[in-house]
Amino acid sequence: MALTETQKVKIITDLGTTANFESTFSRVNRNWFVRHMIDYYASTGVADTAIRGSVQTFITTCKTIVNSKKNFIIGVPFTAKLLRSKLSRRVEIIYGALAAKPELAVGTNANFLDFIIKRRFRTVMRMDYFVNPNSQGYFRYPHTCSTAIGNQYKVNDDATSFWQSFNSGWNGIFFRLTPPASNPVLNFEKLFILKRISCQGNLLDCARVLSILFMDTLFEASNKNTLLSFLVAKPDTNIPISGGGTSHNSYVGICHPNDLPNSHFITDNTNESLFSKLDIPATDLQVGDHIYIYNHPLYKVFIPNGSWRGEHALVYDLMDRNYKSQNGFMFGEVILKLVEI
């Protein structure tokens, strides 16, 4: 017999106390975490009478892990003051990773846990301080360059010789590394060069910038050169396109995140995958998750040919975990300026 809601609430009330968690982890998140773990242990066949003890033990283990790792740093330089101000974000990331994959709490998986939490934090910080606002000078929309023709995408002038663009035939422009890609780390780093003049910089849409941020997270690998070289060496993907033709995309590239399902570094679903694409309840979103926020339906009524039917976004902070609340999830700043949730 499964635990009743009353029994679950009792466990949540008893175990979701401040003392059981890292001090910056909010009450809403504590309650979510306890409930999530109750459901997890129930799903794995733990007896109802043993669930409370299992959750208590796991919470204690997680608190120790979070306190030992919460001051982790990433390979992108930020001031100590800024990093301190983002402590709660790092704490939310660690707890979220442990809740999503409880096996990461095992000591032998410590390096894997580090890789995951650093990648999530790096993606959000890159979005927050390199992409937004666009006036930072790293990434801009094509319309900011007066000489750009139509919706013409390009990488910055320093990266042009390393990345070649073509129409993937699936979701539009795809940038692949120009062979031979003997130094992929250098090729990727060229994309993060500040340009004060719009036409000299990266002119891309939000989807392709997001793919760059995902590539950038892989720099948190213990040996980024080995990992990136391995990924770049994977064979190209040649997939027939509905309606005729074939798409010739490389495994690693600047692309739409939904381009060529199950065939490149973002959508790969094999046992060598580095990302996962899942349908989950909104309340289970974690910092660093990629979502798509649709604009108000009236947008297309007033601007039928407009480009802003929606926006690719990252979860910045969890807040009260209610996307309908004014104190709910925090997404990228540019998202909040362009769309109405």
- Distance, in Å, from the CA atom of 173 to the CA atom of 161, rounded to the nearest integer, reads 17
- pTM of the predicted protein model: 0.89
pLDDT at 335: 36
Name the DSSP letter for residue 130: I
**Residues 124-158: b if buried by 16+ CB within 10 A, e if exposed:** bbbbbebbbeeeebbbbbbeebeebeeeebbbbeb
Measured CA to CA, the distance from residue 275 to residue 186 in angstroms comes to 22
**CA neighbor of 205 nearest in space, from 132, 133, 151:** 151
Tokens describing residue 341: 């949730």
Q: CB neighbours of 257 closer than 8 A, spacing ≥ 6?
A: 207, 210, 211, 214, 266, 267, 290, 312
The DSSP call for residue 225 is H
Residues 102, 40: Cα–Cα separation, whole Å: 9
Supply the Cα-derived Rg of the chain in whole angstroms. Answer: 22
Q: What is the DSSP string of 171-207?
A: SSEEEEEPSP-S-HHHHHHGGG---SSGGGSEE--HH
Residues of the chain with pLDDT under 50: 333-341
**pLDDT value of position 243:** 62
Measured from the Cβ of residue 86, the count of other Cβ atoms closer than 10 Å reads 17
Q: Alpha-carbon distance 192 to 201, whole Å?
A: 10
pLDDT digits (tens, 9 = 90+) for 201-224: 999 988 899 999 999 999 999 999
Per-residue pLDDT, 341:
32
3-class secondary-structure state, position 16: coil
pLDDT value of position 244: 62
CA angle 87, 194, 214 (to 5 degrees): 55
d(CA 271, CA 268): 9
Cross-strand bridge partners of residue 293:
311
